[in-house]
Amino acid sequence: YAMLLSLIFLIVLVAAIVGFVFRHEIKTNFESNLNRALRDYNVTADRHSEAVDTIQRTLHCCGVQNYSDWERTEYFSQRGIPRSCCKSQNDCSEEDLKDPNKAKLKVFVDGCFFLVTSTMESKMSVVAGISFGIACFQLIGIILSCCLSRYITNNQYEMV
């Protein structure tokens, strides 16, 4: 049991170290994937399009760097900026979304990349605290299971 807990503890420790060391690569990879999701965006509700819509609605953002990122997509040439960028769904017509100048007043102008990364960084202290607490419980479990094993092998543990 102690070996199993030690193995899990080491895996979590290595994952945390790798995440910290490669955090810049993770950001770059996220940005390129977000750009690809915008480029391949469609209304057929595939997973990537749903993820883009959810991010834009939840964080009140539009595009990767700003709303004008949509102008370089195939979707924009057909339908304009997606409705998930609209500040108010009632005050957002399709004609407004096709015109970048009108859309600027109707959609969120901030990009999603900065908001997602800043949200993740702000929540990182909570994640680190919870992870540290779990690691402490794992270490206590490892120590107690080693003590129990030593007592069993020394015949100091009485069978009931």
The tens digit of pLDDT for each residue in 23-54 reads 888 888 989 998 888 888 886 667 888 888 89
Residue 159 structure tokens = 């069978």
Helices (H) and strands (E) in the chain, counts: 7, 0
- Its domain, for residue 16, covers 1-158
- For 56, which DSSP code? H
> What is the number of domains present in the chain?
1
Q: Is residue 155's pLDDT more than 80?
A: no
- Domain of 48, CATH number, reads 1.10.1450.10
H or E element, residue 44: none
The tens digit of pLDDT for each residue in 78-128 reads 888 888 899 888 888 888 888 888 888 889 989 999 988 888 888 887 888
- pLDDT (0 to 100) of residue 90: 82
Q: Is this prediction's pTM over 0.95? A: no
